[in-house]
Amino acid sequence: MSMALAHALEFPSKRRLDERTYMTVQTIYYPGFTLGGLGEALAVALTLALLLFTPHASIALFWIVAAFVALSSMHIVFWFVTQPVNRYWLKHYGIQRCFAANGEDIKVVQELLRHANSKITIDVYAQGTLARKAQSRVASMMPPKRG
Contact 40, 1 (CB under 8 A): yes
What three-state secondary structure class fits 130?
helix
pLDDT digits (tens, 9 = 90+) for 40-82: 889 999 999 999 999 988 889 999 999 999 989 988 888 888 7
**Mean predicted confidence (pLDDT) in 22-40:** 75
Average pLDDT, the chain: 77
60 conformational bin, left if phi > 0, alpha if psi -120 to 50, beta if neither = alpha
Looking at residue 67, what is its pLDDT? 93
pLDDT on residue 141: 77
pTM of the model: 0.54
